[in-house]
Amino acid sequence: MSETADITGFRPAWLRDDELDQARAWLPVLYVEAVPVRVDQYGQVNQVGLLLRARPDGSISRAAVSGRVLHSERIRQALLRHLEKDLGPVALPRLPADLSPFTVVEYFPDPQVTGFHDPRQHAVALAYVVPVDGDASPSQDTLDLTWMTPAEAVSPGVAAEMTSGHDRLIRLAMAHVGALP
Amino acid sequence: MSETADITGFRPAWLRDDELDQARAWLPVLYVEAVPVRVDQYGQVNQVGLLLRARPDGSISRAAVSGRVLHSERIRQALLRHLEKDLGPVALPRLPADLSPFTVVEYFPDPQVTGFHDPRQHAVALAYVVPVDGDASPSQDTLDLTWMTPAEAVSPGVAAEMTSGHDRLIRLAMAHVGALP
Amino acid sequence: MSETADITGFRPAWLRDDELDQARAWLPVLYVEAVPVRVDQYGQVNQVGLLLRARPDGSISRAAVSGRVLHSERIRQALLRHLEKDLGPVALPRLPADLSPFTVVEYFPDPQVTGFHDPRQHAVALAYVVPVDGDASPSQDTLDLTWMTPAEAVSPGVAAEMTSGHDRLIRLAMAHVGALP
Amino acid sequence: MSETADITGFRPAWLRDDELDQARAWLPVLYVEAVPVRVDQYGQVNQVGLLLRARPDGSISRAAVSGRVLHSERIRQALLRHLEKDLGPVALPRLPADLSPFTVVEYFPDPQVTGFHDPRQHAVALAYVVPVDGDASPSQDTLDLTWMTPAEAVSPGVAAEMTSGHDRLIRLAMAHVGALP
């Protein structure tokens, strides 16, 4: 990850599990989330990519790209790192020129607070819609990557396959790009 | 321009000069404006493209891409049409997935109203920052296209070469992408 | 409307019906639309205001505030003028400091183009969410103004009472403020 | 702070100094920043409020409202808490209905990384422009609060009185609301 040094001069710091547990008890944890999309030459979104993941309890769910911003890591680095980790090295994600997220998602251990739920921690995620030009292929922990139309992605059937509020995240993303039916 | 039919099913209507003059007396005229940029793999803007144009009075000025939205034309069509007209057919502009402009520019014949000035008309422009991937080459009415860093593009020297408030438009665009010094 | 002179130095121009008809044949017509909301001290939207209107065919429908931007009129003037016309003079709308609309709505006579439909014209609307602090009361052409929760405002029952795509506009507005369920 | 319980059901967690030091070594620390403004009835910004603060080294500088988001605290709570702490209890800040920040500011101990500098930590701040309606009065650590026009707030003289990159933050804020000269 030599690019990391390029833009910060620092290398991100990884934490041991016990350190991360302690940190989670003290601070909200910063995340980035990306909804991968395919766009036409006019920039219109015609497909949405959803990851298929195995969860710790053995169940399977669909989700957007999501991951932690490390200490000393820039937000753009974290976005690219997680996109490459989940979509593979030749997905060619088009990171936004403007770093303002389309929404800020607040996850709490208590699912009642915002509807966005993370049993492990209080996390705050900056969420982006990211057009992907290349060949995305699921990698690492991802079982599969499915492309579907915006209408399919927000349909009740697909929404039921998402957890933690990611179905709502997808609806907000599609609204942001004017593709919510 | 077969793409036009693709997304609206209509062909844009061109007006005769006298019709346009009459229309300008009756309604604000809708424009799109695009600030072409080059971005790195992280989406960070590292270059801004400014057009060099001859103005009706013979003077020369720098400007962003700008043009009218025609009757029956979609905004995305108008954006692509003007980008291709000014940057050539292989510029490969990346139109935004989200159609919300970073600013709305109000041009008036009276330069005191907003500081954005158009002696011909009351025009309202939706302004976008558009990354360009391909080879941009000036075409039609454009004398030249110059790429410069964001810091150069907002420097007093370059600003002085812009008219109608386009120097301010460039500053707003650079601020939007976090590249205003 | 002395405020008008305050910010532009011009008075907006009204058109005769035949002039407006001609103008509509030549140019897209610029509109502003506002979704009135009530917010709590944290800025969270807890109510949405929908107008009840009689349509030319005698049917009744719910809608957001909407109206044309006149020649020589600034966008902020048009927004305030239409909000006061529809919500009364003591509604105290809080116009946004940032003039970027949350979405740009393209209305076409052909309902297939974008799903937003205006049989009279090609119209382009800049849409805003506008918190309202005072006492809103329906005025002029408005039969009633109903406040409801975001969940009610996007429910299928209420959506069915909207036409022209305003049900989708309300969903996009609620997504923008994070209040789409 | 009974409002806290209202929207999360949790009480924010305060850290001891040694805990905060340890947490800062492990994670980026989440902040909110607010640029207080006065707006006219059209929503146009006509004044910007800058705090005057004594810094640890005894020097004096101007700054926007800024503070940490605590564990279990919602972003809107943190925003209101810091606005009330710095502007007093009757400032009546108008928190945004939309939680997307106008920019995301990345502070690093190394001032070369982004130009935004915090010697203590890697901090990521969500930045908002917040209209203030009531009587703002400096409180707690704030020596003074000065209202000035947007042009004054971005003038070289005032910019020189800001540190950490807050002069740039103010320029980005003024650009966002179209008030950057």
Residue C176: its chain A contacts at CB < 8 A? 175-176
Report domain extents, chain D: 2-176
Cβ-nearest to D171 among B103, B168, B180: B180
As a whole number of angstroms, the longest Cα–Cα distance in chain A is 48
Is residue D130 within 8 A of residue D34, CB to CB? The reply is yes
Kindly give the residue spans of alpha helices, DSSP state H, lying in chain A: 2-8, 17-26, 75-87, 150-153, 156-159, 166-176
Interface chains of chain C (3 or more CB pairs under 8 Å): A, B, D
Whether C51 shows a pLDDT value over 50: the answer reads: yes
CA distance C63 to B125: 26
Is residue A153 very low, low, confident or very high in pLDDT (cuts 50, 70, 90)? Answer: very high
pLDDT, tens digit (0-9, with 9 covering 90-100), for D24-60:
999 999 999 999 999 999 999 999 999 998 877 778 8
| CB atoms A27 and D29 under 8 Å | yes
Among A133, A128, A130, A110, smallest CA distance to A120 is for: A110
C-alpha closest to that of D3 among D95, D86, D87: D95
Check if the beta carbon of residue B49 is closer than 8 Å to that of residue B36: yes
Neighbours of C41 (CB within 10 A): 14
| Chain D residues near residue C99 by CB distance under 8 angstroms | 43, 177-178
Helices of type H across A53-181: 75-87, 150-153, 156-159, 166-176
**Considering only CB atoms, which chain B residues are within 8 Å of D154?**
none
In this predicted model, which residue has the larger pLDDT, A169 or A135? A169
Say if residues A46 and A131 touch (Cβ distance below 8 Å). Answer: no
> Greater confidence, D176 or C135?
D176
Is pLDDT larger for residue C17 or for residue B102? B102
Name residue B115's amino acid: G
For residue range D90-149, list pLDDT tens digits in order. 999 999 999 999 999 999 999 999 999 999 999 999 999 999 999 988 876 788 899 999
Checking if the pLDDT of B83 tops 70, the result is yes
**Which residues make Cβ contacts (< 8 Å) with residue D68, sequence separation at least 6?**
D29, D30, D31, D78
Contact between chains at D113 and A75 (C-beta distance less than 8 A) = no
D72 CB neighbours in chain A (<8 A) are 108, 122
Helix C166-176 and helix A166-176, axial crossing angle in degrees, nearest 10: 120
Q: What residue of C is the nearest CA neighbor of B97?
A: C103
CA distance A3 to A10: 10
Distance to chain B for A50, nearest Cα, Å: 17
CATH architecture of C32-176: Alpha-Beta Complex (3.90)
Closest chain D residue to C83, measured at CA: D42
Cβ separation B177–A98 shorter than 8 A: yes
Query: Is B30 a residue whose pLDDT tops 70?
Result: yes
Rounded CA-CA distance C145/C139 in Å is: 9
| D131, closest residue in chain C (CA to CA) | C97
Q: How far apart are CA D123 and CA C137, in angstroms?
A: 46
Q: Which residues of A touch D26 (CB under 8 A)?
A: 13, 15, 19-20, 22-23, 71
pLDDT bin (cut points 50, 70, 90) of residue C70 is: very high
Instruction: Spell out the residues 6+ positions from residue C50 whose beta carbon is closer than 8 angstroms to its own.
Output: C62, C63, C64, C145, C146, C148, C153, C158, C162, C170
**Token couple for A41:** 């030459």
Q: Which chains touch B (3 or more CB pairs under 8 A)?
A: A, C, D
Q: Which residues contact C86 (CB under 8 A, 6 or more apart)?
A: C51, C65, C138, C139, C140, C142, C145
- Tell me the mean pLDDT in the region B62-72: 95
Dist. CA D125–CA D13, nearest whole Å: 19
Query: Is the ipTM here above 0.90?
Result: yes
The helix (run of H) or strand (run of E) holding residue A35 is: strand A29-39
Rounded Cα gap, residues B150 and B179, in angstroms: 6
Q: What span, in angstroms and rounded, lies between the C-alpha atoms of B171 and D16?
A: 43
Q: How far apart are CA D77 and CA D87, in angstroms?
A: 15
Q: Compute the residue count for chain C.
A: 181
Q: What is the pLDDT of residue A5?
A: 41
Give the closest residue to C168 by CA, choosing from C178, C149, C158, B100. C158
- Which residues from chain A sit within 8 angstroms of residue C181, using beta carbons? 168
Of the candidates C67, C106, C71, the residue with the CA atom closest to the CA atom of residue C84: C67
Q: Which residues have a Cβ under 8 Å from the Cβ of B156 and sit 6 or more positions away?
A: none
Nearest chain B residue (CA) to A99? B177
Going by DSSP bridges, is the β-strand pair D45-54/D142-148 parallel, antiparallel, or unpaired?
antiparallel
Whole-prediction pTM value?
Answer: 0.93
CA–CA distance, A130 with D44 (Å, rounded to integer): 32
CA distance C95 to A107: 30
What is d(CA A94, CA A34) in angstroms, rounded to the nearest whole number?
11
Q: Do C175 and A180 touch (CB under 8 A)?
A: yes
pLDDT (0 to 100) of residue B4: 40
The values of phi and psi at residue D164, to 5°, are: 70, 0
Please give the share of chain A, as a percent, with pLDDT higher than 90: 78
pLDDT tens, B142-161? 888 999 999 999 999 999 99
Angstrom distance (rounded) from CA D53 to CA D143? 5
pLDDT attached to residue A3: 39
* B138 pLDDT above the threshold of 70: yes
CA distance B47 to B158: 14
Query: Does residue C168 surpass a pLDDT of 90?
Result: yes
Q: Which two tokens stand for residue C163?
A: 């036409």
Chain A residue with minimal CA distance to D24? A71
Question: Given the structure tokens 């040094």, which residue do they identify?
Answer: A5
CA–CA dist C45, C158 (Å, integer): 18
Partner-chain residue, chosen from A39, A76, A178, that has the shortest CB–CB distance to B44? A76
Q: What is the dihedral of CA D104, D110, D112, D115, to 10 degrees?
A: 30
Tokens of B85: 């007209």
Q: What is the CATH number of domain B2-176?
A: 3.90.79.10
Report the interhelical angle of A17-26 vs D17-26 (nearest 10°).
120
**Closest by alpha carbon to C60, among C140, C161, C158, C180?**
C161
How many helices, marked H, and strands, marked E, lie in chain C? Answer: 6, 7
Instruction: Measure the CA–CA gap between D123 and D23, rounded to whole angstroms.
Output: 12
**Closest to A115 in 3D by CA, of D96, D104, C151:** C151
Closest residue to B43, CB basis, from A37, A39, A76: A76
Chain C residue nearest residue B69, CA to CA: C28
Chain C residues touching D48 at Cβ < 8 A:
none
- pLDDT tens for each residue of C128-162: 999 999 998 887 678 889 999 999 999 999 999 99
Element (H, E) at D18: helix D17-26
B96–A43 CB contact, under 8 Å:
yes
Place of tokens 């980035």: A32
D86-95 tens-digit pLDDT:
999 899 999 9
Distance CA D179, CA A50 (A): 40
How much is the pLDDT for A10? 52
pLDDT of residue D12: 59
What are the chain D neighbours of C45 within 8 Å (beta carbons)? 97
Question: For residue B15, what pLDDT band results from cuts at 50, 70 and 90?
Answer: confident
